[in-house]
Amino acid sequence: MRLQGPDTPAGNMPQRLHNMRVALLSGIAAFSFILPTAVLSQATVTTSYGYSNFGELKYPVDFDHLDYVNPDAPKGGEISIWSQGSFDSFNQYASDGVPAALNTIGSEAILTSTSDDPYGSYCFLCTTLEYPEDLSYVTFNLREDVTFADGTPMTADDVEYSFNLFLTQGILEYRRVVEGYIDRVEVEGPYRITFYFTDTAPMRDRVGFAGGTPVFSKAWFEETGTRLDKSTQQPFMSTGAYVLDSAKFNSRIVYKRNPDYWGNDIPFNKGRNNFNTIRVEYFADSDAAFEGFKAGDYTFRTENNSQNWATGYDFQAINNGWVKREEIPDGNVGTRLSWVFNLDRPHWQDVKVREAIGMMYNFAWSNKTLQYGFFQSPTSYWPGSDLAASGTPSEGEIALLKPLVDEGLLGPAILTEDAKVPVTHDETANRPSRSLIRQASKLLDEAGWATGNDGIRRNDKGETLELTIIQFSPTYDRFVNPFIENLALIGVQGKLDRIDISQYVERRRKGDFDLANQGFDLGFEPSGGLEQWFGSKTADDSSRNLMRLRNPAIDRLITHVVAAQSLDDLKTSVHALDRALRAVGFDIPLWYLPATWVAYYDYYRHPENLPPLSVGELDFWWYDAEAAERLKAAGAY
């Protein structure tokens, strides 16, 4: 589980809405199994302990523990991290309020994933699942020993109730995507529940969708009157290993390990959930947070500020060997960090205007001068993976793209040219070359934005071409201000509007911006969730389709991705979609980092071989009590 930091456009914002298929992928969840063999076939119905759309599950039914944990890791101690700004709610699924960090730490779902199997889903709150060849339904046989944090048992009624909560009270972007997936849900017994799918439900999403929704206590919701679409002053009653211990709003949150957690002794949890407490300290800004780490106010830091990483780690705790630094390779699909245009505003509806504006951001200079060369340019929406489009399109891609070109929904160049990448700048100076300035100016001229005697661009209505970038962290000044300087070279008036985090969250939700930060985190198996990111049906109200994209060509390509049944078909369709998204050009790609930087006081330990998909500091790291005592005796804290 990685917290976002100041060099991330969504840096330390409240947690984004979880992908419902892989709830709590970070590992606070667990599962068990009782089958003597991995899969049993009965007529056309398969009974299994897990499910994968592609190939075999990594783990057999009788495995002892996950490959990447230390099964003998001790329990105890505390790990503390930081978050920025403030919070006034423990409900990240509501559109109002600013949710607390780690507010879903106690949530678990019927199925879970591991950090070394990108395609597998395993029984967790269930013992087995059953499904026919046509995947018209899936039945979950639930564990009978699962309890909520208050000690009450979890049953199929709780699963049904929780599922319906998301369908009736979930955020609009989610409901618009999934409301047609389920025909009905039937509780067939206290520990047996079946989800029946509609004919139009995406095949690859079915099992994961039904099994990925967090399970909450029906009795608790009814007794408290809590709603999923309203902010709350406490976390939902859930089944997970951690519960809220204390909270001081806008200052500190402490979660504690539940000693009566139902899953303490199951194989999936060996070597996991090791800390007695997890503390989150809040700071007004990233600079104050870094100073707090130096002073020992918190003890584990995921560092996304390149300037800090290059020059800031020269303080007493580092020099005395009390604090360690590590760069951990990241095997996930890279996160494309961008500034996105608000396409609902007329000025940004012309692709020529957007392209001209984007040409003024100099990644090469920013990376070398401001980020010490650590980052890479995210040319794709799936950077660092084989899902990224490259070169000219393959025959399979052309078959998907040509009908869209023939209908005039995409330009013909997409069929013959290399996948679009950002323009190349000189890294020795921020100012774009004369050639790039001329190219950008020509695009604005063609779009009807003429330069006046004062050097300012105006359209035929006399409106000036102005652009406001909203931010809440001053760390971004060193990137925004040089970009604004370059915009002036082509007659565009840029402005930085820094606001507090609550205003920032609200203005993003309302679409009150020209450019805003967005991190595109799309994963190895994109499917129906793409509609939340790029689909027209979510453009009116979405935390992911922040740019308000409504494009029929993109909608059609998403259907091909969703329908893909093999890895080869998936890659082909994603390549075509990636190519088209880049051609539409609704964002200014900034950077991505194919590694995770961490710094921590040297009494935390982790397995020698970390998994490719997670650092796991809150999941399978542990506290070394003897090392902590040595550091305390030395005056480290």
What is the per-residue pLDDT across 596-609, written as a single tens digit (0 to 9) for each?
999 999 999 999 99
As a whole number, the mean pLDDT across the chain is 91
Convert the pLDDT of each residue in 115-146 to its tens digit: 999 999 999 999 999 999 999 999 999 999 99
Give pLDDT, residue 33.
28
pLDDT band at residue 304, thresholds of 50, 70 and 90? confident
Alpha helices in 300-451 (DSSP H): 306-307, 316-319, 351-358, 363-365, 395-406, 434-446
Strand, coil or helix: 155:
coil
pLDDT at 466: 97
| Confidence at residue 390, expressed as pLDDT on a 0 to 100 scale | 96
Percent of the chain with pLDDT over 70: 93
Q: Per-residue pLDDT for 290 more than 80?
A: yes
What is the predicted pLDDT for the residue at 600? 98
Mean pLDDT, residues 264-273: 94
CA distance 192 to 616: 32
542 confidence band (pLDDT: 50, 70, 90): confident
The rounded distance, in Å, linking the Cα atoms of 243 and 255 is 5
Question: How much is the pLDDT for 109?
Answer: 97
For range 328-339, the mean pLDDT = 95
DSSP code per residue over 280-338: EEEESSHHHHHHHHHTTSSSEEEE--HHIIIII--SHHHHTT-EEEEEEE--SPPPEEE
pLDDT value, residue 43 = 57
Q: Looking at residues 292-296, what average pLDDT do you find? A: 95
Residue 485 has pLDDT above 80, yes or no: yes
Res. 107: pLDDT tops 60: yes
What percent of the chain has pLDDT above 90? 86
Per-residue pLDDT of 174-211, as tens digits, reads 887 788 899 999 999 999 999 999 999 999 999 999 99
Q: Note whether 360 and 445 are within 8 A (CB).
A: no
CA distance to 307, 560, 582, per residue, from 555 (Å): 40, 9, 14
pLDDT tens profile 3-51: 333 333 333 222 222 333 333 322 223 222 223 334 444 458 999 999 9
- Asked whether the predicted pLDDT for residue 416 surpasses 70, the reply is yes
Residue 588 CA to residue 583 CA, distance in Å, equals: 12
Domains and CATH numbers, the chain: 20-248 (3.40.190.10), 336-591 (3.10.105.10)
Q: Taking a C-beta distance cutoff of 8 angstroms, is the pair 428, 364 a contact?
A: no
Tell me the pLDDT tens digit for each residue of 452-463. 999 999 999 999
* 554, 361 contact by CB (below 8 A): no
Q: What pLDDT, on the 0 to 100 scale, is given for residue 176?
A: 79
Rg of the chain, C-alpha, whole Å? 25
Of the candidates 352, 340, 335, which has an alpha carbon nearest to the alpha carbon of residue 547? 340
Per-residue tokens: 520: 């595109």
Give 474's pLDDT tier (boundaries 50, 70, 90): confident
Mean pLDDT, residues 430-447: 98
Backbone φ and ψ of 503, nearest 5°: -65, -40
- Quote the CA–CA distance of 544 and 526 in Å, as a whole number: 14
Per-residue pLDDT tens for 272-285?
999 999 999 999 98
- Average pLDDT of the residues in 235-259: 96
404-413, 504-513, 573-582, 615-624: least confidently modelled range: 504-513
Q: How far apart are CA 302 and CA 259, in angstroms?
A: 28
Residue 106 near residue 239 (C-beta atoms within 8 A): yes
What is the pLDDT, as a whole number, of residue 179? Answer: 81
For the segment 62-91, what is each residue's pLDDT rounded down to a tens digit? 999 999 999 999 999 999 999 998 899 999
Q: What is the pLDDT of residue 256?
A: 98
pLDDT digits (tens, 9 = 90+) for 496-520: 999 998 899 889 989 999 999 999 9
pLDDT for 38: 40
d(CA 314, CA 294): 10
Q: CA–CA separation, 58 vs 120, rounded Å?
A: 7
